Amino acid sequence: MRIACWQTVAGGEAPRTRLRATAHEAAAAGARLLITAEVSLTGYHLGPRRLRQLAEPGDGAMCTEVAEIAAEAGIAIVFGWPELADGNVYNSVRMVDKTGETLATYRKTHLFGDIDRAIFEPGQTPVVQAELDGLTVGMLICYDVEFPETVRAHALAGTELLVVPTALMKPWEIVAQTLVHARALENQIYVAYVNWSGSERELDYCGLTRVVGPSGFALHDDVHGEQLVLADLDPMRITKAKQVNDYVADRRPDLYGSLSTDPA
């Protein structure tokens, strides 16, 4: 399956206007799935007051418009927005299929510093998946992937492609360049890590969107500026990686299961 990852520059023209053109471009290039950055429909670092003003429920105008774009372009889309639900605002990501039907919605479970905690409530569901073209696709958001337990939970649940919309800023390039590769390797899955570029208020995003294969290697060169990255995924690469050494099967949870709990 071919996927497209859209690294876009923060600010400028309305994100949803650019999304429509990008969805058509990705579909024309043969992609079956377009993945966008964290809170891609509004921008990530707009401040608590502005994000609360923009927050909408899952059946609001923003999500409805993306569903229409997906159906118009004939491509599945992963997108993020500030979700209003039960009086709270969540940092959410949704996957819709090529007809615009909602496949899954995930709320960020690990909030990053005051930027997240000043506005968002944490989600409580660690593993959210959907089937797309025979591939099991899971979703995390940004800081979530920096916790090994989250990705291992996906691997144990059968995720083959983990999509991670992010808003990674400088000087944390090491997350994209090293940690994301380790997560893919140690769980033998594909990881699509999709970032912003440019600046938003005082944040300077580092770009470096990447698709990493189950052997820990990126499928393309580093990405800078606004760019649509295409990558072809082959589930057989997951099988072959596990034939060399199967990290999941070779675990010894009887020895270290307690490490996932806080000490008394």
Q: Which of 142, 146, 160, 206 is catalytic?
A: 142
Q: Which of 108, 121, 146, 206 is catalytic?
A: 108
Q: Confirm whether 142 is a catalytic residue.
A: yes
Q: Confirm whether 108 is a catalytic residue.
A: yes
Q: Which of 38, 83, 146, 160 is catalytic?
A: 38
Q: Confirm whether 13 is a catalytic residue.
A: no
Give a three-class secondary structure readout of the chain.
CEEEEEECECCCCCHHHHHHHHHHHHHHCCCCEEECCCCCCCCCCCCHHHHHHHCECCCCHHHHHHHHHHHHHCCEEEEEEEEEECCEEEEEEEEECCCCCEEEEEECCCCCHHHHHCCCECCCCCCCEEEECCEEEEECCHHHHHCHHHHHHHHHCCCCEEEEECCCECCCHHHHHHHHHHHHHHHCCEEEEECCEEEECCEEEECCCEEECCCCCECCCCCCCCEEEEEECCHHHHHHHHHHCCCCCCCCHHHHHHHHCCCC
Residues belonging to the active site: 38, 108, 142
